[in-house]
Amino acid sequence: MSDPSPDSDWAAAMAEQAGEAQNATEKLLEKFGAHSQVTTTANDIDMVLDIPVQLTVELGRTRIAIKSILQLAQGSVVELDGLAGEPMDVLVNGCLIAQGEVVVVNDKFGIRLTDIVTPSERVRKLHR
């Protein structure tokens, strides 16, 4: 008997997450009777699904002088402003879209999203 591969564990976790999100969306749409409008929107969204974006998870930030950077070596520690247990920022193309917490599955790190920035909040930040 062989151990399950880490990729299959991630795939199973992602599939479970997608199924839960789809079920929640369908229930919400049934409640408001807007199912036909979503199908049209889904077809419009298909046009952008293959566009690559840069996803960044930020543990924290710091300012450091070039002199200090040049002194860094293997095993050096750089102190960040983030605290242990604090939510991490998730950015897409440099724009904050969510916050989350670190999870580990078969010795690989991931992030569980705990708070999603609403589209209206994102638009407000663009106008600042």
Q: How many domains does the chain have?
A: 2
Q: Is residue 90 within 8 Å of 96, Cβ to Cβ?
A: yes
CA distances from 98 to 10, 19, 40, 70, 124 (A): 20, 20, 26, 33, 15
Question: Both 87 and 64 in a single domain?
Answer: yes
Instruction: Judge if 46 and 61 occupy the same domain.
Output: no
Q: Strand, helix or coil at 53?
A: coil
Residue 46 and residue 56 share a domain: no
Domain hosting 29: range is 1-50
If asked whether residues 70 and 128 sit together in one domain, one would say: yes
In the structure, what pLDDT confidence band is assigned to residue 1 with cuts at 50, 70 and 90? very low
Q: Supply 69's token pair.
A: 């950077």
Is the model's pLDDT at 113 over the cut of 70?
yes
User: Same structural domain for residues 87 and 101?
Assistant: yes
Evaluate if residue 112 carries a pLDDT over 80.
yes
What is the predicted pLDDT for the residue at 83? 78
State the CB neighbour count (10 A cutoff) for residue 90. Answer: 21
Residue 75 has pLDDT above 60, yes or no: yes
Domain edge (last residue) among 50, 66, 87: 50
